[in-house]
């Protein structure tokens, strides 16, 4: 009885994408704090150290997750004409991502502007705004401001929502929660666009 030629017992060909997909699924299921190298490895049925074949460190894993999230954002290219339409479309997709992946969202939203996965993506958006007629300087200023608004709103919205889902709310604390529902996100964005148009784009130097 000859021995079997192939013994494919060991799981091979684990890809970077397998890591980020499993990581995002884990974060959405159990929260950001559940993302540990050991926990992710057990999720992928491999030894903790196997992850380091595909990723240099935990920080590099998080950069890869942010890359993955940015790819999701870029699936539909915006097709607006005015800078206002472009900003609306860009932030709508940003908000949709926060709704779809609330626990992972802050990894993207709070990443420093100069981090390697984020900077090129922001460069693309700035280029789009320039194409819509803004100077590069105004485009950067406007993107910085609307992105700050959207990130701040959606991160705290997602965190408060996670807490509510976990049932950590006392009755007398419920009053403030409604301050930040998603309807207000759109109203605030419209106010911001109107104000930016009046003061930064059409307005003279104050």
Partner DNA sequence: ACCTGAACACCGTTCAAGT
83-100 vs 58-73: helix axis angle to the nearest 10?
Answer: 130
Minimum CB distance to a copy of itself smaller for 44 or for 91: 91
Per CB under 7 A, does 75 bind DNA? no
Check the CA dihedral 128-134-138-143 and report its sign. negative
- From residue 58, alpha-carbon distances to 20, 71, 178 in Å are 12, 20, 35
Minimum CB distance to a copy of itself smaller for 67 or for 147: 147
Touching DNA, residues 9-68 (CB under 7 A): 10-14, 35-39, 46-50, 52-54, 57-59
Are the C-beta atoms of residues 32 and 71 closer than 8 Å to each other?
no
Minimum CB distance to a copy of itself smaller for 46 or for 200: 200
Minimum CB distance to a copy of itself smaller for 41 or for 118: 118
Positions in the binding site for a copy of itself (CB under 8 A): 106, 109-116, 118-119, 122-123, 140-141, 143-145, 147-153, 155-156, 159-160, 163-164, 169-170, 173-180, 184, 187-188, 190-196, 198-200, 206
- From residue 54, alpha-carbon distances to 16, 38, 61, 64 in Å are 6, 14, 9, 10
Neighbours of 182 (CB within 10 A): 13
Could you tell which of DNA, a copy of itself, none binds residue 109, using a CB distance below 5 to 8 A set by kind?
a copy of itself
Give me the least distance between CB of 71 and a copy of itself, in Å please. 19
Question: What's the CA gap between 179 and 183, in Å, rounded?
Answer: 10
* Nearest in space to 201 (alpha carbons), one of 123, 143, 118: 143
Could you tell which of DNA, a copy of itself, none binds residue 194, using a CB distance below 5 to 8 A set by kind?
a copy of itself
Minimum CB distance to DNA smaller for 7 or for 176: 7
Give me the least distance between CB of 110 and DNA, in Å please. 18
Are the C-beta atoms of residues 43 and 34 closer than 8 Å to each other?
no
- Which residues of this protein are in contact with DNA, per CB under 7 A? 10-14, 35-39, 46-50, 52-54, 57-59
């Amino acid at each position: 009885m000859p021995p079997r030629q192939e013994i494919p017992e060991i799981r091979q060909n684990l890809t970077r994408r397998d890591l980020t997909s499993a990581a995002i699924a884990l974060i959405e299921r159990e929260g950001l704090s559940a993302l540990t190298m050991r926990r992710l490895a057990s999720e992928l049925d491999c030894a903790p150290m196997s992850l380091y074949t595909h990723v240099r460190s935990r920080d590099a894993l998080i950069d890869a997750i942010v890359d993955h999230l940015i790819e999701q954002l870029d699936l539909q290219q915006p097709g607006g004409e005015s800078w206002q339409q472009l900003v609306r479309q860009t932030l709508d997709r940003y908000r949709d991502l926060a709704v779809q992946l609330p626990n992972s969202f802050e990894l993207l939203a709070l990443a420093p502007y100069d981090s390697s996965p984020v900077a090129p993506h922001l460069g693309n958006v700035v280029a789009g705004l320039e194409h819509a007629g803004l100077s590069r300087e105004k485009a950067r200023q406007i993107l910085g401001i609307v992105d700050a608004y959207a990130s701040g709103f959606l991160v705290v919205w997602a965190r408060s929502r996670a807490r509510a889902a976990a049932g950590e709310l006392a009755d007398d604390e419920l009053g403030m929660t409604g301050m930040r529902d998603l309807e207000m996100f759109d109203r605030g964005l419209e106010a911001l666009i109107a104000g930016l148009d009046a003061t930064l784009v059409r307005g003279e130097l104050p």
